[in-house]
Homo-oligomer: A and B are copies of this chain.
Amino acid sequence: MSRYIKPAGQAKFVDRYTKKMNELLVDLNVHEGSVKYGLMGAPLSKPSISHSGASMAPGAIRQAMGSYSTYANHTDQDLRDTQIVDFGDVVMHPTDIVESQDRIYQSVKDVIQTHNPEYFILFGGDHSVSFPSIKALHETKGKVGVIQFDAHHDLRNLDDGGPTNGTPFRRSIENSVLKGEHIVQIGIRDFTNAKAYADYAVKQGVKVYTMQDVLQDRIESIIRESINYLKKRVDYIYLSVDMDVLDQAFAPGCPAIGPGGMDSQTLLTAVQEAAKHPMVKGMDIVEIDPTLDFRNMTSRVASYVLFSFLKSKDLKI
């Protein structure tokens, strides 16, 4: 073809030295050897209690990745040779929500069994996607422990509304996919939960760090404490990052925004610190509604959550 023509949507100026983070995403067939990083999108938000467009987040986060380069200045790390196999997105059923969640479970399990990525990343969707994801990992990888960043417990009862985005960890416990004592919740905020669920957390042995704890202690200490707590109890540590753990000023695009949450830097430091540990091998990033966001800001933070994970894993090579 003519020298100046590129495929539709790809005709952007790039200089010869710059590689964008979204270019690390490769198709499975392009990839060679074993899969280090595997990524999947779960565009599901119909389970949400309130109106949510989180189904559009997998696309929005991938797009945000395209705004950033592969190089981390402070540590002089260039990720340009990193490959993240992008398995794609799970097709959702338009009117059967439980079926959709089951498709996520099936797809994660298939991918783990077939390609066995060393690290697995899931872009939600609302928080209900964590249950099928963790269930698949539980069945393939052994005992899973979770560090959940969230303003909410997500331990609501399932009888009243079925498997909504308020239930993934309750559902995990009730289905023996997780034990309560294998869950660490960080960033739980006042006036975002019912007492009944805080009580349930206590009863089930869920370890909880409130936002007040986060403000009083260094996040690195909390993370290290959490890792130390989990590492003797489980085989595989999974980070479940609900972006609404952030203050609304830093994550304006979450459905359940509010004041008094973390700033972006604290969350990024937390994920980076956690990812330093070799047992931390899975992560989901959930609860971004790009239709509510301002300039894709929340998806931009989400992309940095992934970059923070990658930076620590890269150092481990």
A contact residues vs B (CB 8 Å cutoff): 1-19, 21, 25, 27-28, 40-41, 43, 46-49, 51, 53, 55-56, 58-59, 62, 67-76, 78, 80, 86-98, 103, 106-107, 110-111, 114, 156-157, 160-164, 166, 188-198, 208, 210-213, 215, 247-250, 252, 256-260, 263-265, 268, 291-292, 294-295, 297, 300-301, 304, 307, 311
* In contact, A197 and B250 (Cβ under 8 angstroms): no
Q: Which 6 pairs, one residue from A and one from B, show the smallest C-beta to C-beta distance?
A: A95-B162, A2-B110, A11-B89, A17-B196, A259-B264, A72-B190
Q: Which B residues lie within 8 Å of A70 (CB)?
A: 191, 194-195
* In contact, B40 and A5 (Cβ under 8 angstroms): yes
Q: Which B residues lie within 8 Å of A248 (CB)?
A: 295, 297, 300
Q: In the bound complex, how far is the Cα of B9 from the Cα of A207, in angstroms?
A: 37
For A46, give the chain B residue with the smallest CB separation. B46
* In contact, B193 and A107 (Cβ under 8 angstroms): no
User: What is the CB-to-nearest-CB distance from A147 to chain B, in angstroms, rounded to a whole number?
Assistant: 18
**How many chain copies does the complex carry?**
6
User: What is the CB-to-nearest-CB distance from A199 to chain B, in angstroms, rounded to a whole number?
Assistant: 9
Q: List 13 A-B contacts (CB under 8 A).
A: A2-B90, A6-B88, A17-B196, A19-B194, A49-B94, A78-B195, A95-B161, A95-B163, A190-B307, A191-B304, A250-B259, A252-B295, A259-B265
* In contact, A71 and B2 (Cβ under 8 angstroms): no
* In contact, B260 and A304 (Cβ under 8 angstroms): yes
Among A16, A89, A213, A263, residue most surrounded by chain B Cβ atoms (within 10 Å): A89
User: What is the CB-to-nearest-CB distance from A252 to chain B, in angstroms, rounded to a whole number?
Assistant: 6
Question: In terms of DSSP, what is the predominant structure of the interface of chain A?
Answer: loop
Q: In the bound complex, how far is the Cα of B5 from the Cα of A62, in angstroms?
A: 16
For A103, give the chain B residue with the smallest CB separation. B4
Q: Which B residues lie within 8 Å of A51 (CB)?
A: 53, 55-56, 291
Q: Which B residues lie within 8 Å of A53 (CB)?
A: 51
Contact of A93 among B15, B161, B189, B301 (CB under 8 A): B161
Among A93, A192, A260, residue most surrounded by chain B Cβ atoms (within 10 Å): A260
User: What is the CB-to-nearest-CB distance from A127 to chain B, in angstroms, rounded to a whole number?
Assistant: 13
* In contact, A191 and B21 (Cβ under 8 angstroms): yes
* In contact, B58 and A8 (Cβ under 8 angstroms): yes
For A43, give the chain B residue with the smallest CB separation. B11
* In contact, A15 and B161 (Cβ under 8 angstroms): yes
User: What is the CB-to-nearest-CB distance from A47 to chain B, in angstroms, rounded to a whole number?
Assistant: 5
Q: In the bound complex, how far is the Cα of B215 from the Cα of A264, in angstroms?
A: 13
Q: 16 other contacts beyond A70-B191, A247-B264, A257-B300, with CB at 8 A cut-off?
A: A2-B107, A4-B91, A5-B90, A5-B107, A6-B89, A6-B91, A15-B160, A46-B95, A51-B55, A67-B258, A71-B190, A71-B194, A72-B190, A73-B193, A190-B307, A258-B304
